[in-house]
Amino acid sequence: MKKITLIFLLFAIVINSQVYFLSNDGVYKSFEKIETGIFDGIVSINNNIYILKHDAIINLKTKQEIKIDSPVYIGDSYFLSNGSIYKLENDKLLFYKILPNNLKNVYVYKNFLIGIQSGKIVGINNGKLIWTIDPNNEKILKIKISNGHLAVFTNNGLTIFDIANPMYPRYIEHFTNADDYEFNGYHVLLINNEVNIYDENKKLLFSRKVNGNTLISDGENIYIGNYIITSDLNITTFPYKIKGVAVLKGENLPQGEIKLLWSTNLNFEIKSRPVAINNTLFVASTNGKILALKNGKIIWEYRLPFIITGHLTLTNKELLATSWDNNVYAFDFSGKLLWKVQLDSDVALGVAWDGIMIYALSDEGYLYEIKDGEIINQYKAGKWPITGPFISLSGNIYSVDAMGYLWKNNKKDKFIGKVRNLAFFSETPVIPSENSFVLLDDFGNEFLFEKYSIIKNGKTVFKSNDEIIDAILGKNNIFILSSNGNLYVIDRKKYKIIYSNTFKNSKFLVFDNGILYIIGEKAYAISTNDINPNSWFSVYKDNMNSSSINY
């Protein structure tokens, strides 16, 4: 067959989307299990997520069950069941047609029914045979459709056709061997448990042994076993095996322009990173004052007896603050003091929260586990900690001491220098370079924020004329704050500045529910066209400063 030049397409659907993963024990949104059970598949149809059981299709949001025997998704909202094809519309199954005789390995793509029949690949439209692909003397083993490409597996290798216009399949490429295939702008082949990624010229760009036997794509990233291979060929390990992926495009993205919502004078020094939830911003001054602000108005305040430098932290029901008077304090969201716990020495850093336990580090290097205002456990870690505690997926507690040594629980690990944070995608800490910090997106891509640059997976994607002192990684954009108070909003597709403004003497950024807070001598709130990721998107993980991948 004549070789036809490939039109190289790049897909960028995921950056503004929410991804759901099917594993052996349920459905996950990032690391959060949102549905427990054993399911046969997961699909996105009309921006709804559906999970497949042996006897039903279930709307993940509404929990409505649509009864059907052994459903198999074959594309474009169509399902195959017992030889008949049905279309899912508005949570109702509409009978489409009975499957033609001897038609196997069926897909529906742009109103075409494509499958294997009598040793040939056929394309049927409105009941009429439009084309066939005859592999001559080769035996067809299976076919697969991936992002406008038809992969034909025979005993003589793999042949790829462009079916973006399914009326006219166009030959693209042939590979001598492959067990599975996906197209994500590259040709992705699985051969003997090894993923090989080729460009349009068949140049090998990536090769890696993996632990799965089926390739899955969301149009941009590749999933196999418990690995994610991003479009820029970065590989990340998930703590569970991925059986299926479904994407909601542009889920809950706010609409409208970036604009100032309110501002208010704080008139005090601040060294403690604030937190925000449900349009309420919590701020602590160096001299011990804690404020709660809503819509720019102070709704309550409380003064501690001594200095606050550690970040504030939120649990489900408490605001947590630490002080140089040796105490950890907990308030309800109305400002009532619930409890305080005295430690052995000053507490210059904020606490971590994993959904169950509070973790605090004293200046003497003792690590405390606190629950409901009671110390449950304590042990010695590194003295004079400079950052931490941070909690891994399995509950290991990491910190960095004044000499730059990494501690794992009560054991000194290795020298890493004076870093500003650690970040976690699962169990192993992502460690930034000295005097820098690192953030992660939902796919484990690493964004290192050095003094004057942003580095994604080892490649510089943005250079700043101003020193970067804080940043937020949104779904759409990156928000960076410079030392001279300049705020830059950077589009994550092209890494270009789409908005800038100056907020003098500002030190921190906090992002919650589409609102970006800029805090220093004043507090500002601006609207954004963005949402919180499920990843480590701020220095201490999120808008609650939880410092834990488990929460």
Does some domain include residue 370? yes
Whether pLDDT at 251 is above 60: no
pLDDT value of position 117? 94
pLDDT value of position 401? 96
Whether pLDDT at 10 is above 60: no
Instruction: Tell me which residue has tokens 């699909």.
Output: 43
Global pTM? Answer: 0.77
Report d(CA 267, CA 287) in Å as an integer: 12
Whether pLDDT at 252 is above 60: no
- Kind and range of the H or E run holding 26: strand 26-29
188 near 175, Cβ under 8 Å?
A: no
Does some domain include residue 35? no
Please state the domain count of the chain.
1
Does some domain include residue 60? no
Q: Determine the average pLDDT of the residues in 72-100.
A: 94
**DSSP secondary structure code for residue 100 in this structure:** P
Which pLDDT tens digit goes with each residue over 473-495? 998 899 999 999 999 999 998 99
Does some domain include residue 508? yes
Sign of the alpha-carbon dihedral angle for 497, 493, 229, 234: negative
**DSSP secondary structure code for residue 301 in this structure:** E
Give the percent of the chain with pLDDT over 70: 95
pLDDT value of position 360? 97
pLDDT value of position 7? 26
Report d(CA 279, CA 288) in Å as an integer: 23
Q: Determine the average pLDDT of the residues in 88-95.
A: 94
Q: Among 335, 364, 330, which Cα is nearest to 349's?
A: 364
Q: Counting beta carbons within 10 angstroms of the beta carbon of residue 297, is it exposed (0 to 12), middle (13 to 18) or buried (19 or more)?
A: exposed
Does some domain include residue 546? no
Read off the CATH number of the domain in which 484 is found: 2.130.10.10
Report d(CA 230, CA 250) in Å as an integer: 19
Whether pLDDT at 3 is above 50: no
Does some domain include residue 105? no
Characterize the bridge pairing of strands 453-456 and 446-449.
antiparallel
> What domain range includes position 397?
259-527
Whether pLDDT at 8 is above 50: no
Q: Which amino acid is at 85?
A: I
pLDDT value of position 12? 36
Average pLDDT, whole number, for the chain?
A: 91
pLDDT value of position 15? 46
Q: Determine the average pLDDT of the residues in 126-134.
A: 93
Report d(CA 452, CA 450) in Å as an integer: 6
Which pLDDT tens digit goes with each residue over 106-128? 999 999 999 999 999 999 998 89
CB contact set of 336 (below 8 Å; sequence gap of 6+): none
Instruction: Assign 472 a pLDDT band (cuts: 50, 70, 90).
Output: very high
Q: Among 214, 144, 147, which Cα is nearest to 185's?
A: 147
Does some domain include residue 58? no
Give the percent of the chain with pLDDT over 90: 83
Least confident of 248-252, 320-324, 413-417, 486-490: 248-252
pLDDT value of position 13? 38
Does some domain include residue 311? yes
Instruction: Assign 250 a pLDDT band (cuts: 50, 70, 90).
Output: low
Q: Determine the average pLDDT of the residues in 296-303.
A: 95
